Structure 1
Amino acid sequence: FLLNNPLHQILVARYSESDLTIDFDNFVGCLVRLETMFNTFSVLDTDQSGSIELTLLQWLSVSLL
């Protein structure tokens, strides 16, 4: 996955331990989450524009996957 620095920092904050290491279980969980989000975005980006528009309910459904 190609990620920008702010997104990388968010993932570290979410999945790392207090010493900024990521254990194997969290690493796998992070990869599964990223893959799911990228795949979901691709499905919703029907015109392949790189952007999608979601209702609040759709956004909540996607973000809570």
Structure 2
Amino acid sequence: MTEFLVCFNWCNGEQPQPKRRQRLDRNMIGEPTNFVHTAHVGAREMSADYSSVSAPLGQAE
């Protein structure tokens, strides 16, 4: 009996509408909290050695 209900719901053709995300606006974004600038990464720094950075990004607090 449950197989019939599952097939009936699937074969019915009604699919839920995908939820649309609200469009993110610049005014919705707040100022950074607890931001610590550790290094600059640009075109010149891409090949630089970052062994001098004190803490890996995953451990920075």
Scaled by the length of structure 1, the TM-score of the pair is 0.21
Structure showing greater Rg: 2
Scaled by the length of structure 2, the TM-score of the pair is 0.21
Q: Which has the higher helix share?
A: 1
> Structure with the greater relative contact order (CA < 8 A, sep ≥ 6): 1 or 2?
2
